[in-house]
Each structure stands twice: as C-alpha cells, then as structure tokens.
Structure 1
Amino acid sequence: MTATFGFNFSDTYSQLPKDFIKKAELYTFKNAQHQIFNTSLAVSLGLDQNAIKESNYIFANGNNLPHGSSSIAQAYCGHQFGHFVKLGDGRALLLGEHVTPDQKRYDIQLKGSGPTEFSRGGDGFAALGPMLREYLISESIHALGIPTTRSLSVITTGQPVFRETTLKGAMLTRIAQSHIRVGTFQFASLNGKDHVHALAEYTINRHFPDLKNQGEKFEGLLLRVIDLQSQLIAQWMSVGFIHGVMNTDNMSICGETIDYGPCAFLNHFKQDTVFSSIDRNGRYAYGNQPIIAHWNLARFAESLLILFDEDIDIAKEKALSMLSLFKEKYMSCWVGLMAKKIGIENSSKIDEKFINDFLSLLEKHGADFTSSFRNLNNLNQLKDSLIHDDVFVQWNNQRINLIGQENMSSSQKMMDSINPCVIPRNHLVEQSLDDANNGNLETFHKLLSVVQHPFSMPENPMYLEPSSPEYEQSYRTFCGT
C-alpha cells in the first residue's frame, strides 16, 4: 500500500450482507498514461492533487492503491429496456468511501478496471472515447447545476480493447454520493426481507438521516426518492438532456445523474428525439423521460412493499398513493424551471399548456432548443420562420405582458442565469473524441473549458452553433461506458 494522497477511506457498504458485494482485484496496467485530471474536484474533496499527479497514475496498478482502499464489485439487478436481468459491476470496482474534511462521504469507483464475477463474459475493460465522454458530459451537467456523478481522472491503460474495432483502453475514476440504485433494491428484494431491510436502513443512515426517527421511515424513503427524481428529470428536460439508457440500474437513489453511455443533448427540438443506437423503439426518447422515471420508481416501490406492511394489499395501496404524487411533483418542478427560462419568475402565472405551446412552435419550425430560449428577447437571433409565425407573435406578446415592461431588465438577468449559451453540441463532442483517439486532446480540452462555463458567451461562435438537421437525424450514440 502507498500513502493516502489525501484520501480518507471508509468502507461502510461492505457491512451489508455478503451477497451485495464480491471481492475483486484491480488489473495492473503497466503502460498507463495520464490523460486528464480534475484538479478543482480534487481540491473540493480535500485531496492532495500534487501528490496524486506525482505518483504516476496511482489507480493504474492494483498493487499501488491509496492506503485504506479496498476493491469490491457491487451486485444489483435492472430492468434493461423493460426486461429484468441480474447484473453487477462487470467492469468497475468500488475502492471505498472517501470522507472529506467537512465530513461528506463519496464513493470512489474505477470504471474499466478489469473483469469481475459480474462481467458475464465481458472483458471488464473500457475504451478511451466513452470514458472521455462521461468526463465531458458529467462536467457539463455539473456546471448546469444538475446533480451528477463526476470524474476525477481518465488514464489510458496502454492495452487495446477489442469491440467492433480495436480501441484504446482507458479507465475513469468516478466520484458519486453513492452507487445505490433502484436496481440495488431490486437485487435485495430477490434475497428476501432481511436484505431489503438492511439496504433500506443503510440508505437512510447514509443519505437521509433525518428519516431515521420517523414512524414510517421506509415510506419516507420512497417519498424522498420520488422528490429527488422529479426534480432531476425536470432539470434534464429543461436543458434538453437525453440520458439514453434509463434502466432501473441507472437510477440513483440519491438523485444524481449516473451513467453517461449513449447520452446526448437536443439540438433541433423534437419530443421523440432518440440518439441511442440500441433504443430502437424510442423507450427512452426525450419526451418519454418523465414517464420512464415514474415507471422506474414503481419498480423501487415494489422492492419496498415488504417493509410497508405485512398485508400486501395495504402495502400496495400505500405505494400507489405515494407514486401518484410523482406527476404533480415533476410538473411543479418542470413548470417552475421552464417559466424562468421564458422570463416569468412567478410560475403560477402560467400553466403547462403555455410552455408546451412554445415547444410546439419550436418543433414546428425545427428550431434549436438551447439558443431559442437563450435568445427569446432577441428576436433577430431566432429562426426566421419562427418569428414570422402569427401564433408565435401572439404567444410572445402574451409572455411579455405577463412579465411586464417594468420587469424586463430583471427578467432578462434571470433568463441569462438559467438558459445556457453552450451545451456539448453533439458534432463537437464527436470531433473532440475522434481527435483524442488520434492522440490529440487539444480539441477536447477546449470544448471542456467552454461547457464548464455554460452561461458565459464563448469567444469562438462555433460552440454556439447546432449541427445540421441532417446530421442530427443520422446521429447515433452507443453504450460504451
């Protein structure tokens, strides 16, 4: 073992019943090379970033891990595109939980670290492109103020990864409040009440300690997760983010965005936009995300039924009552965010229909989602066909009347603070990853620096421009992470 590098590891997850974890060994990568390190994140975690950098890729060698760390693979299940399967960390290892100087607890996980008992025939490794994609998009989501896992570093492993073609191997270090998923509770429910109870108690103690002394704390757990997910999905929708693979194993109990495999952002607005190559039926399309979130939460509720009441009918009645709150909670969050995006601070002045009327206009004219909101008070910056549509003119006049001329200045400031100038445009993401695979990280670093400041106008206007409708129509993302 080596020095601590500022890590203060604790391992409470291993206190759960042994079925929840499998011991695993980190593969030793002898020819690893540093690609990117998140210095600001390291500082926020209280790590010694200089010692980490000087240690020559501490996570590249299974015999050279920070003092106090372990290496375990977590078990979980998941509904993948609606089909239930047993899963687990097939190419990831949890090193432990880092406790920061201000007593916050974060999982430190390696992705692409080699095979585990859950690899199901896979090699356990990862490719450079998908690891850099997760780093880039998660930093963008974080900068937009949306809860997310983050990436501390990406290294190349020095060994090839064999997929459809031969790719550069890579490993990412992910930081998360935890990796407890809806799928973790589904795994627990397969093993009986004791496992569900142990996991629920652990989750409450770790994430929601205020629930510990409540009379119905397990019902409180479901309600809390419903709250967090309604807020998270509303935030995704407000910036045009499409997760792409909303399986139950990719829904975090603590309400963070997790797993950036086939994710992408909307450009030209269409409710049924799908980019994922494997989502052939559009299950996880942009407009379906709130529906799928509710479906996933129902699966979470099913796993908790045994804790709600011994009478299954009473337990189901409780669960259904709580699940029925999701739509209202989500809609309240979404309308509140979208109202601010169009300059109206008091969302009670408008309803869902008023926002959807504008979205319908964007779809009708094939307008860009991000720039249309950002430039709503600068009509000459909007799509020409949109501003000459009589329906839009009437809608916009109503919007301005709701704001009031005397409030236009403060309204504009609010709009500028919630409507990003830049998002990771799909064509720019792909170009940066292509260049990185060819040994040039300059394009990636430039794009990263721009998306880390989404509300600032970039010097280069190319970061503002969407790709062509033809590009977006044929653009496909892949589950590489």
Structure 2
Amino acid sequence: MQFNTRYSTLSPKLYHHQLPSPLKGAKAGHFNAALAEQLEWSDKDKAQWVEICSGQKTFEEFEPLAMVYAGHQFGQWAGQLGDGRGLLIAQILNKQGQTIDLHLKGAGSTPYSRMGDGRAVLRSVVREYLAGHALNSLGVASSNAVGFTSSEQGVQREKLELGAMMLRTSDCHIRLGHFEWINQYQGDLLPEFTQKCIEWHYPECLDTEQPILAFATQVIQRTAVMISHWQLVGFAHGVMNTDNLNITGSTLDFGPYGFMERFRPNWINNHSDYQGRYTYQQQPSIGHWNLWQWLNNLVPLCPANYDKEQWKDDLAQCLEHYEPTFLEHYKMGLSQKMGLPSFHKDSFDCAMIFLRILQSEQLDYTLSFIRLQNHEYEAIKDDCLDRRAFEGFLAQYESIREHQDIITLDAEMEKANPHYILRNHMAQKAIELAERNDFSEVERLFTLLSQPYLKQPELETTEDLGPLPSDVPEVMVSCSS
C-alpha cells in the first residue's frame, strides 16, 4: 500500500488516537479481492486480510483515530457526535492516485460512543457490505468495503447477536457534521479545516476568485447528483442526518436503507423513522435542507474585505445550484431508463405517467423498467387493474419513440436498468445463513450484484427478480446495528 497520511496533520482536537479492540474468535466473512487489487494491497496484506479486517493488525505508517463531528438527526440538533464504533486506520492511494480512507467499523468504544459499546453486529455488517458493493456496481458514488469478519463474541442489542467488523473504504469521511462541530465548539479551527478540505478534495477551487464559494457550490452539486442517482435506482438511504452526508457526494453510513420494490414513494424503510422524514420521495428536499444547515457554518469564513450580508447572500446563491443540478441528472437518467430521447419536450411527462401507474398499481420498480426495456408491454398491462390507463401511456410512449433511433435508445436502456438490486429479503437470507457460519449466500449475492445490468440466469433465483408475495410480511429494518 502507498500511504497518504493527511487527516492526522489537522488539529488533534478533531480526533482521538486509539487502537482497535479486536473481537474474540475473529473469522473470515468475505473478502473483496478486486477492491484490494484496486487499492494496491500487497500479497502480504491480502494474506493477512482477516487480521486487518478484525482489528488485530494495524499499520506503522498510520496511527488509528476516531473523528469527532456533530449533526442534526431527524431534523433536530444532536450536539457532539463522532466515530463511536469506527476508526480511521489508514489513508492510502489507489491505482489512480486518489486518496482512499480505510475505516474499521465495529472496532470498539471511543470517547464519542455516547454510552454505546462501540461494536457492530453481523447483521448490519452484512447489509452494509453488500449495499456498498451494490451501489458501486450500479454506478452510484458510494463507500465500499475490502472485507468483513465475523466472530465468536456476542454483542447485546434487542437480543444477543454475533459481533463483526468491516473495513470500509471511502474517498472521504469528512461529513457536513464536521463543520457543524467545529463551528459550534472550536470555531478557530474552521479556516484551516476548510482550506484543507478544498486542497484535498476540490483543488480546482483554489484558482477561483472565491475558493470557499466555489467549494460550497461543488459540494452542493455533487450531493444533488448523488441523490438523483439514488432516486433513479430506487435507493432510500433511511437516515439522511447531516452527519451521514459527506463533502464529496458519495454515499456513506448505511443503516436501515432499502431498495425500492413495489413503487411506493412514501415507503418508510426505517421503522425508527416515525414521521417518515427520510422516505424515498423526501430525499431530494432533505438533501437541500441538510446543505442549507451546512452553509450556515461557512458564514464565519467571510473574507475581511467582504460585506457580511453580501457573503450570506452569496452562500445562499450557491444553494440555488442544487435543484437544477438534481433535475438535470434525474430527468436525463429517467429518459435513459425509459428509452426516450431526453431532448423531446414530452419525454419527462410521459415518464411521470409511467411512474404514477407503477404507484397506483403497486408494481415493482426495477422489474417494470426491465419489462419496458424488453418491450414486454402485455406483461405490464396484465398486472394492471386499470388497463386503459396503461394503454393510454403506451400510445404516448410509442408516439414519442416513433421516428427516433430505437436501436440507440434501447441500448441506452440496457445501461440504465439493472436486472438485480439488493432487495431486503435477499440480504436477510444471506444474514441468516451467515449467522450460522455459512457465507455462501453472501458470495452468491456479491457475484450477482457485481454485474447488475447483465442478465445472469445461471446465478439468479426467483426471489432475486421481484418482491415477496403481498401476503408475506416485509423485512423491517431499524437503526439498531
């Protein structure tokens, strides 16, 4: 590995150095060999992956640390938070020369654990491991993981569960909540911290007239793009607190996430979300709200020769990039999923009609787009109670596609519509087997989700292709992990 130790060059007020606390009886769960290769792990590192991913081995080049940050949780100020069960154990360069964080989750209690035990359970580790892999394979910016380990050590949650650890990777673990903590508790650190964030993640902004405004605009736009991609693949994060969004617009901190099955935009996939704040349909507006909170923490960075009220107005102007960026990418992506030309004036309206049919008929989001892609119009209509509504949509749809380059449009559809998403019941089956020390289903899903846009009949099962029957209870997920 090539190390780029930089976070520990910041003020020690921003972190706490400590070693991980290994679990008893650590054993192999699953190893992401392709990612380890991308990160240029040596043969020795690969041979010791269980030790690395279970906290038994650290690196001389980097002293592990827990970050401190703050945040708004479910819309309320939560005060100081931080890495309560995770440690940044290294920062290394990948094959492209990009700095990647190695973050060990479940590594034991830290000063920021807030009465927690600092552990993670196998159930949540398997879910996050598979979800990061799934999103990356779908082309959605996200954390990933090199591997995870199980153990013989029990961890108490609602019941006694197996403890586990995961070595997560991300291009950035600096969250919106870092700025909230600094602004609230250590305001003198804000200028240098912001400068480092720009140097490390947005160096092109240094050449602009106002680097901080350029930086804010870039963070806002990347976040908008990420959320548009979530919407397009039907992903609901579940806990979009300000401490769970980072500054590079890559998905972070999976808890009670869910991939949309039957199209219900108001579906609450986190049963701890009693008000439905973080439903699928709320994600774009919550992203906007979080970024507004974040921008307030940049107000103290007003340059000396700048009018403060004008500075506030200019920061607010940065946020005006959010909605058009989101809509541009969402509309473009939705047209691609539909096989419609993005330039046609009626394409988006036609797509909205299709989504309303999916919603009213409670049809599966992913499967319905695959059927549309395969021109299986009768199969969709047969699942509709209001067949005339679908016939009306189909007439408009075919009218727009008439005289277009259908071959190109259909080829674009194949790039935009996955055959496979990580449905909750798929993950649950893998978890139940893993808890019996059988990781074969984790391996099968990992392989299947590696190429979600490619049909894999030799590997798939019937349960991978659609929701469970309506009379089977949904798999419910909470924040407990």
Q: Do both share a fold (TM > 0.5)?
A: yes
Moved more, 63-72 or 242-251: 63-72
- CA offsets per residue over residues 333-391 of structure 1, 9 Å max, x none? 11110011100132453365433222111111111101111111211332514386223
Query: Per the alignment, do residues 320 and 408 of structure 1 end up closer, same or farther by CA in structure 2, a change over 3 Å counting?
Result: same
Map 1:457-472 to 2 at 5 A.
457-459=455-457, 460-462=460-462, 463-471=464-472
Offset at 1:199? 1.6
Change in 2 beyond 3 A, CA 1:60/1:390: closer
Q: How does 1:73-152 map to 2 (within 5 A)?
A: 73-85=66-78, 86-152=80-146
What is the aligned partner in structure 2 of residue 419 from structure 1?
A: 417
CA distance in 1, matches of 2:471, 2:323: 34
What is the aligned partner in structure 2 of residue 3 from structure 1?
Answer: none
Does the Cα contact within 8 Å between 1:27 and 1:113 map onto a contact in 2? yes
Matches within 5 A, 1:63-462: 64-85=57-78, 86-309=80-303, 311-350=307-346, 352-376=348-372, 377-382=375-380, 384-386=382-384, 389-405=387-403, 407-459=405-457, 460-462=460-462
- Which whole-Å CA distance do the structure 2 matches of 1:480 and 1:248 have between them? 19
User: Aligned-pair distance for 1:480?
Assistant: 4.1
**Deviation (angstroms), 1:164:** 1.0
**Mean CA deviation greater in 435-444 or 351-360:** 351-360
Q: Which residue of structure 2 lines up, in the alignment, with residue 475 of structure 1?
A: 475
Contact 1:8 1:68 in 2 (8 A): no
Contact kept in structure 1, 2:222 and 2:249, CA below 8 Å:
yes
Unaligned runs of 5+ in 1: 1-6
Q: 1:179 to 1:391 in 2, by over 3 A?
A: same
Measure how far apart 1:467 and its partner are: 1.6
Q: CA deviation at 1:62?
A: 5.5
- Whether the 8 Å CA contact 1:349–1:402 is kept in 2: the answer is no
- Cα distance in 1 for residues equivalent to 2:348 and 2:179: 34
SS in 2 for 1:123: coil
Q: Mark the CA change 1:387 to 1:374 in structure 2 (over 3 Å): closer, same or farther.
A: farther
**1:93-139 CA distances to partner (integer Å, 9 max, x unpaired)?**
00121123542100111000011110111111111111111110111
User: Residues 23 and 71 of structure 1 are in contact (CA less than 8 Å); yes or no, is this contact kept in structure 2?
Assistant: yes
CA separation of 1:436/1:394 partners in 2, compared to 1, >3 Å: closer, same or farther? same
Q: 1:383 to 1:477 in 2, by over 3 A?
A: farther
The 1:63–1:170 alpha-carbon spacing in structure 2 relative to 1, beyond 3 Å, is closer
1:45–1:363: structure 2 CA closer, same or farther, 3 Å change rule? same
Code of the residue aligned with 2:270 in structure 1: it is S
CA deviation after TM superposition for structure 1 residue 158, in Å: 2.9
Tell me the distance in 2 between the aligned counterparts of 1:28 and 1:57.
11
Describe the shift of the 1:458–1:136 C-alpha distance in structure 2 as closer, same or farther (beyond 3 A).
same
Q: Which region of structure 1 is more displaced relative to structure 2, 383-392 or 459-468?
A: 383-392
Residues 165, 181 of structure 1: CA spacing in aligned structure 2 closer, same or farther, 3 A cutoff? same
Larger mean CA deviation between 348-357 and 321-330 belongs to 348-357
**Distance between the aligned counterparts of 2:195 and 2:442, measured in 1?**
42
Normalised to the residue count of structure 1, the TM-score between the two structures is: 0.94
- The offset of 1:194, in angstroms, is 3.1
Q: Report the count of equivalent residues.
A: 473
CA contact (8 A) 2:350 2:397 kept: no
**Mapped partners of 1:336, 1:135: distance in 2:** 29
Q: 2:132 touches 2:142 (CA, 8 Å); kept in 1?
A: yes
Which stretch of structure 1 is more off in the superposition, 307-316 or 278-287? Answer: 307-316
TM-aligned CA distance change 1:334 to 1:158, over 3 Å: same
C-alpha separation in 1, matches of 2:185 and 2:209? 25
**2:207 alignment partner, SS class:** coil
C-alpha displacement of 1:147: 0.4
State the alpha-carbon separation in 1 of the partners of residues 356 and 221 from structure 2: 28
Structure 1 residue 69, shift from structure 2 partner: 2.4
2:41 alignment partner, one of 44, 47, 53: 47
Which residue pairs with 1:4 in the alignment?
none
CA distance in 2, matches of 1:480, 1:42: 29
Instruction: State which drifts further: 297-306 or 396-405.
Output: 396-405
One-letter amino acid of the counterpart of residue 205, structure 2: L
Identity of aligned residues (%): 28
SS of 2:200 mapped into structure 1:
helix
CA contact (8 A) 1:268 1:368 kept: yes
Q: State how far apart, in whole Å, the 2-side matches of 1:375 and 1:352 are.
A: 19
* CA-CA distance at 1:200 after TM superposition: 1.1
Residue 334 of structure 2 contacts residue 348 of structure 2 at CA under 8 Å; is this kept in 1? no
CA distance in 2 between partners of 1:443 and 1:260 (Å): 20
TM-score (norm 2): 0.94
Give, as a single letter, the amino acid of the residue that structure 1 aligns with 2:204: D
CA distance in 2, matches of 1:451, 1:253: 27
Contact 1:367/1:383 (CA < 8 Å) preserved in 2? no
Residues 461 and 54 from structure 1, CA distance in 2 versus in 1: closer, same or farther, beyond 3 angstroms?
closer
Q: 2-side partners of 1:461 and 1:305: how far apart?
A: 53
Q: Secondary structure at the match of 1:386?
A: coil
Q: CA deviation at 1:302?
A: 0.7
Matches within 5 A, 1:10-25: 10-25=4-19
Change (3 A) 1:193 1:276: same
Moved more, 398-407 or 441-450: 398-407
CA contact (8 A) 1:60 1:157 kept: no
> Are the aligned partners of 1:425 and 1:467 in contact in 2 as well (CA < 8 Å)?
no
Structure 1 residue 10: Cα displacement: 2.7
Query: Counterparts of 1:29 and 1:436 in 2: how far apart (Å)?
Result: 17
Task: For 1:68 and 1:14, locate their aligned partners in 2 and report how far apart those are by CA, in whole Å.
Answer: 11
**1:422 and 1:451 in contact (8 A); partners too:** yes
What is the DSSP-based 3-state SS (H/G/I as helix, E as strand, rest coil) of the residue aligned with 1:382? helix
Query: Match of 2:50?
Result: 57
Counterparts of 1:419 and 1:134 in 2: how far apart (Å)?
Answer: 22
Aligned residues of 1:419 and 1:455 also touching (Cα < 8 A):
yes
Q: CA deviation at 1:392?
A: 2.3
